[in-house]
Every structure is written in structure tokens, then in C-alpha cells.
């Protein structure tokens, strides 16, 4: 078992083609370009998250980048559910990006001249207060992406001429790409808006760095009192922190049939986490491994001896007692 701290990108894994949730000009493209090895590859945009995942599963791209969580709206359920239920892919990396939503429009368009605003529903929800207070009479329309919204404003939709009075909520990079003005910048309702993206591949598990996260889906053996507690105690007993716990319908057993998507702050090669997974696999209805990968951002400093070292010491102690018992026979 390799428990040394290594660079997860040092493993032999050549990334030549990267698929991402497009089109070009989205926050997802921005996230891709923060990673030097991904930005150096051929970038291929796809219209939907399932299209990205399909391309990864088919081997058309080496990896895919999709959004999975926002600090305001929470989990991106269609991404999380696709990875949990519909694909056999692994998360290999996470990317956290600061999000700035801008109101963009044609050159010279002012707030007073805006009749409609188009964007992805998640973006309009994050800018609800601005729309309610500053553009109360404007119609709100849905687009497939923020960059797609900017393109509709700049080029029109379905071959039509650009619509007068139409604005979009989009990244600044999308305004630059499509030749639009930023009418108002940073219009999100809450400061500190961030989105977490994940890089997914078919079979790669990066090496342990010492600052890692493991994602999994745990299916209950039965919906009974204490069933969630029985899952959580496997981590609590081993002092493994859970950064996220999501209850999701299994989509197979009707109302009330739920599973748990769990993000644990440890790597699959950590002995304590491996032991917790063994226990869950033996006691619960099933466990699906979604990947172990480096956590984005600087590692937190923890005082004291690592839990795995204490666990090995305890295991050695028990083994010594068992050896004494065997010698006494």
C-alpha cells in the first residue's frame, strides 16, 4: 500500500483531449484554464453535462470537467446523480473557482433599456435580488449555459437577428468573447460565490497526497430507524471527517428509497478509510466508489500523530495479543 505523499499528476497519464461543459466562454472553461496540464490539451466543448460524461465513457476524450457544487445553490444534482447512478467514471481532481456574474449586453445598452434577461437558471437564481430590485419588469429567460446566453444576445437565436433590449447574466470572459459590454459587474446576491468542478476519467485514481478526498455512494440495506447512524458511525469511530453528506433518491425503489452520497476527507489507500469502506460494504446494501483525489486549496494543519499511524500501532498491539494467545495453546 502506497501511503507516501506524492504529486498526483506525476503518474503516467497523458492528457491530450479534455471535454468540458460548454460552450467556450463558460465558467467551466475558466476552471479548465486554471489547470496547466488541462489547458495545454485540446479542449472540446459539449452542450450538456451528460454529453461530456458520454464522451469520457466512450474514450473520445481523456477526461471531462463538469460543475458539481455551488456555494450558494448547493449540489448540482444532475451532475451528482449522473456520476452516482448513470456512469462508471471516477473523480480524479476538483477545481474551485471564484464566480463573478455580470450583466452583459450589446454596446451602449443601459439598465433602463433592458426588456429581458437570459441565462442558465442557476445563474438567475444566484442573482435573484438584483433582478427583483433593479430589473423588476424585465422578462427572465432560460439558456443552456451562461456563455450560450451571451452568444444569444450577441448573435441572436436560431438564425434570427440580435434582439434589442436583451441582456445576459454571464462571465466577463463571455462578454469579451462575444463583443458585449459589461453593464453591471458582480451582481450575485451573496459575496464569496464559488463553484466546485470535478475532473472525471474512466479508471484513474491519483496517488495519495496527504490532502485528499474520497467520494462514494452508500445504499441502505433497509430503510429503518438508525440506518443513517449506522453509516455515520463507521466514519466517526475512525475519526474521519465528512466534508459533505447528500441524501438522494435511488430512482428505483419509489418514494422513500434513498441512498447517501458521501465525501470523506481521506484517500482510499489510508488504512482507516479502507477499513470503513470494508465495514460499509459488509453491512450496508452496497457501496459505489466514485474516486479518491486531491482536495483543492491549501492543506489544513493538524497537530498530533496521524490517525493511520495510531491505527497501525493499535493493530500491532492487537496482533501481539493474538500471538500470545496462539502461543498459549
pLDDT tens across 108-158, in order? 999 999 999 999 998 999 999 999 999 999 999 999 889 999 999 999 988
CATH number at residue 297: 3.30.70.260
Q: Which pLDDT does position 315 carry in this prediction? A: 80
Average pLDDT over residues 238-247: 95
Percentage of residues of the chain with pLDDT beyond 70: 92
Q: Which pLDDT does position 168 carry in this prediction? A: 98
Let me know whether 49 and 149 are in one domain. Answer: no
pTM equals 0.82
Let me know whether 67 and 179 are in one domain. Answer: no
Mean pLDDT, the chain, rounded, equals 90
Residue 322 lies in a domain: no
CATH number at residue 152: 3.40.190.10
Q: Is 49 a residue whose pLDDT tops 90? A: yes
Average pLDDT over residues 259-269: 97
Q: Which pLDDT does position 306 carry in this prediction? A: 62
Q: Which pLDDT does position 10 carry in this prediction? A: 42
**293-329 core/surface letters (b: 16 or more CB in 10 A; e: else):** bbbbeeeeeeeeeebbeebeeeeeeeeeeeeeeeeee
Residue 7 lies in a domain: no
Let me know whether 211 and 309 are in one domain. Answer: yes
Query: For cell 466562454, what's the residue?
Result: 25
Let me know whether 165 and 301 are in one domain. Answer: no
Identify which has the larger pLDDT, 230 or 304: 230
Let me know whether 199 and 76 are in one domain. Answer: yes
Domain that holds residue 90: 16-99+193-203
Let me know whether 150 and 232 are in one domain. Answer: no
Q: In the chain, where does DSSP find H-type helix?
A: 27-33, 36-39, 49-58, 77-81, 121-126, 128-134, 146-155, 172-177, 227-236, 271-283, 307-327
Let me know whether 216 and 292 are in one domain. Answer: yes
Q: Which pLDDT does position 324 carry in this prediction? A: 81
Q: Which pLDDT does position 11 carry in this prediction? A: 43
Number of domains in the chain: 3
Q: How confident is the model at residue 41 (pLDDT cuts 50, 70, 90)?
A: very high
Distance between CA 69 and CA 121 in Å, rounded?
15
Q: Which pLDDT does position 322 carry in this prediction? A: 84
Let me know whether 236 and 107 are in one domain. Answer: no
Residue 329 lies in a domain: no
Q: Considering only CA atoms, which of 142, 164, 162 is closest in space to residue 151?
A: 162
Amino acid at each position: 500500500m502506497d501511503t507516501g505523499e506524492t504529486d498526483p499528476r506525476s503518474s503516467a497519464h497523458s492528457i491530450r483531449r479534455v471535454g468540458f461543459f460548454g460552450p467556450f466562454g463558460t465558467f467551466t472553461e475558466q476552471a479548465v484554464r486554471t489547470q496547466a496540464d488541462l489547458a495545454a490539451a485540446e479542449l472540446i466543448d459539449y452542450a450538456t453535462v451528460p454529453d461530456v460524461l458520454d464522451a469520457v465513457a466512450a474514450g473520445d476524450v481523456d477526461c471531462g470537467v463538469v460543475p458539481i457544487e455551488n456555494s450558494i445553490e448547493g449540489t448540482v444534482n444532475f451532475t451528482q446523480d449522473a456520476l452516482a447512478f448513470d456512469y462508471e467514471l471516477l473523480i480524479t481532481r476538483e477545481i474551485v473557482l471564484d464566480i463573478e456574474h455580470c450583466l452583459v449586453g450589446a454596446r451602449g445598452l443601459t439598465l433602463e433599456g433592458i426588456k429581458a434577461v437570459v441565462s442558465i437558471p442557476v445563474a438567475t437564481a444566484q442573482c435573484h435580488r438584483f433582478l427583483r430590485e433593479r430589473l423588476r419588469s424585465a422578462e427572465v429567460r432560460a439558456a443552456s449555459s451562461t456563455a450560450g446566453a451571451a452568444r444569444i444576445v450577441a448573435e441572436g437565436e436560431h438564425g434570427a437577428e440580435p434582439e434589442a433590449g436583451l441582456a445576459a447574466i454571464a462571465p466577463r470572459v463571455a462578454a469579451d468573447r462575444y463583443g458585449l459590454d459589461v453593464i453591471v459587474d458582480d451582481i450575485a446576491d451573496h459575496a464569496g460565490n464559488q463553484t466546485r468542478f470535478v475532473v472525471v476519467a474512466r479508471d484513474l485514481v491519483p496517488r495519495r497526497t496527504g490532502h485528499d478526498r474520497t467520494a462514494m455512494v452508500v445504499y441502505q440495506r433497509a430503510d429503518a430507524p438508525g440506518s443513517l447512524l449506522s453509516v455515520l458511525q463507521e466514519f466517526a469511530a475512525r475519526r474521519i471527517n465528512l466534508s459533505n453528506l447528500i441524501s438522494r433518491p435511488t430512482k428505483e425503489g419509489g418514494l422513500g428509497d434513498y441512498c447517501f452520497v458521501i465525501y470523506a476527507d481521506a484517500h482510499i489507500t489510508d488504512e482507516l478509510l479502507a477499513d470503513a469502506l470494508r465495514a460499509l460494504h459488509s453491512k450496508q446494501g452496497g457501496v459505489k466508489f466514485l474516486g479518491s483525489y486531491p482536495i483543492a486549496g491549501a492543506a489544513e494543519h493538524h497537530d498530533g500523530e496521524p490517525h493511520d499511524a495510531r491505527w497501525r500501532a493499535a493493530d500491532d498491539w492487537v496482533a501481539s495479543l493474538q500471538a500470545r494467545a496462539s502461543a498459549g495453546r
